[in-house]
Amino acid sequence: MTVVSVEQALAGKIPAGGEVTVRGWVRTVRGTAGLAFIHVTDGSCFAPIQVVANDSLANFDEVKRLTTSCAVIATGTLVASQGKGQSFEIQASAVEVVGWVEDPLTYPIQPKPMTPEFLREVAHLRPRTNLFGAVTRIRDCLAKAAHRYFHENGFYWISTPIVTTSDAEGAGQMFRVSTLDMANLPRDEKGDIDFSRDFFGKETFLTVSGQLNVEAYALSLSKVYTFGPTFRAENSNTTRHLAEFWMIEPEIAFADLAEDARVAEEFLKYMFRAVLAERGDDMAFIAERVQKDAITRLESFVNAPFERIEYTDAIKLLQKADRKFDFPVEWGLDLQTEHERWLTEEHVGRPVVVTNYPEHIKAFYMRLNDDGKTVAAMDVLAPGIGEIIGGSQREERLDMLDARMAQFGLDPAHYGWYRDFRRYGTVPHAGFGLGFERLVVYVCGLSNIRDAIPYPRAPGHAEF
Ligand code: 4AD
């Protein structure tokens, strides 16, 4: 007896006629008089394998009572299947029921369409649905491809801290971990310092970005990246924002904005190619049930160069657009989602890199251009979602960085270590941040970012 995954069994890698065992959960069961057709999935691929059981099994009565999500171990002979769309099936010699579903009628996951809103309320059970199984495997494929891209291109993976004292974006959107009040340290009933409430003895927060920390490593290891959770306490009750999301942030020494944009484009295309090559089964389901053109648009994304537009030109285009926007379009104002979507969906029809934004709407660390009005920033906009990447060339000149911090009202004492890179061997460098869930939303054609992460954190939502 060989234990195999459903994926291995369906690929027929095991000699047909051989005996195999699969372990998983029932997706559906159909039956006729002396036969039961059980579709079993173990998450290893999109398709389930059909297990055919007949009344020669000692526990056939039990097998007939199986319902969706019961856990089973099925052993039998792997044979080529006569069924439509199935490569191999198992003619069972034994079906062991490992776990019953206690009340199939009230079990939340039913083999029928369920709304995303309902499924978010049962986030711990939704990976059992076809959609969340597919999204989970695609997310995994994208993450592994990201690491592979960096590995193949000489980047080192740096683990940056989650608890920090620095506001990397200077935007005041940090979740507080501990406070500064040394005189009144919290004490428990015995009078001892309660470290669970004030461990660090200073104000600490959850990080909004690993960028500042990873810059330090770029300035010694040249090409580096972080890939970790980041947190933003913005009131982000939208379909594009999470309070906790994962960000991939490469940082490259001796790079300017053009090189930054080149890497961003190459990196995205690498990941899309991986999904097309490795997750054809899940993407076919997405194309059938979620977004008709899910595969063709990824293919076109991979095959066409991204458009590059300067912010100033983007404003002119938007002002001339044959379309009324809800938010004003004016040089100096940030682009809103409706503007980003018009640019990428209606004007260009493919991804766009917008560069050189007005300095006062972008973060303090971005490099001031010679015009004194714009910074070397870039956003990569994708059709259907808008901004998925934000990046920039960093301000490597200490006097300019100090001036920018003063302009944003940031205390240089808090950023002493960050200023050090500009004091000791400073070089031009650049990087970007890719919002990982926005990438998943784009690839899977999802309409809400809360479905792109296993356990979404958003205002009022921290269950499970
Ligand atoms: O543009 P942002 O704020 O850039 C940074 O944090 C830089 N430090 C990155 C860098 O240069 N290393 O965020 C980068 C990306 C956005 O383009 C977006 O995709 C995603 O992070 N993002 C969010 N995703 C989900 N929920 C949120 N609340 C997000 N905020 C930003």
Q: What is the DSSP string of 151-181?
A: HHTTPEE----SEES--TTSSS-PPEEE---
How high is the pLDDT of residue 15? 67
Interval 255-266 mean pLDDT: 98
pLDDT per residue over 39-49, tens digit each? 999 999 999 99
Helix (H, G, I), strand (E, B) or coil at 308: strand
How far apart are the CA of 208 and the centre of ligand 1, in A?
A: 8
Interval 292-308 mean pLDDT: 93
Interval 273-294 mean pLDDT: 96
How far apart are the CA of 428 and the centre of ligand 1, in A?
A: 22
Interval 429-435 mean pLDDT: 98
Quickly state the pLDDT bin for 349 (edges 50, 70, 90). confident
Minimum mean pLDDT range among 83-92, 116-125, 302-311: 83-92
* DSSP 8-state symbol, 461: B
Interstrand relation of 19-32 and 71-80 (parallel, antiparallel or unpaired) = antiparallel
Highest mean predicted confidence (pLDDT) among 13-17, 79-83, 283-287, 347-351? 283-287
ipTM reported for the complex surpasses 0.95: yes
Rounded Cα distance, 359 and 393, in Å: 13
Rounded Cα distance, 59 and 61, in Å: 5
How far apart are the CA of 106 and the centre of ligand 1, in A?
A: 40
Nearest ligand 1 atom to the CA of 389 is: 17
Rounded Cα distance, 385 and 111, in Å: 30
Is pLDDT at 325 greater than 80 in this prediction? yes
Interval 60-81 mean pLDDT: 95
How high is the pLDDT of residue 263? 98
> Pick the residue with more confidence: 262 or 201?
262
Interstrand relation of 374-382 and 386-393 (parallel, antiparallel or unpaired) = antiparallel
Nearest ligand 1 atom to the CA of 236 is: 28
> Pick the residue with more confidence: 440 or 386?
440
Residues with CB under 6 A from ligand 1: 168-169, 209, 211, 232, 236, 241-242, 245, 247, 249, 387-392, 431-433, 435, 437-438, 449
How high is the pLDDT of residue 182? 61
Minimum mean pLDDT range among 2-6, 30-34, 340-344: 30-34
Minimum mean pLDDT range among 130-134, 166-170, 267-271, 325-329: 166-170
How far apart are the CA of 226 and the centre of ligand 1, in A?
A: 13
Is pLDDT at 423 greater than 80 in this prediction? yes
* Cβ atoms within 10 Å of 39's Cβ, excluding its own: 21
The answer to whether 362 and 336 are in contact (CB under 8 A) is: no
- The β-bridge partners of 357 are 375
Residue nearest to atom 9 of ligand 1 (CA): 433
pLDDT per residue over 184-239, tens digit each? 777 778 877 776 666 777 888 999 999 999 999 999 999 999 999 999 998 778 99
Which among 164, 247, 379, 439 is the best mutation to test ligand 1's pocket, defined by most ligand atoms within 8 Å of the CB?
A: 247
Residue nearest to atom 2 of ligand 1 (CA): 390
Rounded Cα distance, 387 and 433, in Å: 11
Element at 340 (helix H, strand E): helix 337-341
- The β-bridge partners of 434 are 248, 389
Q: What is the pTM of this model?
A: 0.94
Highest mean predicted confidence (pLDDT) among 15-29, 172-186, 201-215? 201-215
How high is the pLDDT of residue 413? 86
- The β-bridge partners of 92 are 76
Contacting residues for 332 by C-beta, under 8 A, at least 6 apart: 358, 360, 361
How high is the pLDDT of residue 237? 85
Nearest ligand 1 atom to the CA of 171 is: 3
> Pick the residue with more confidence: 322 or 366?
366
How high is the pLDDT of residue 23? 98
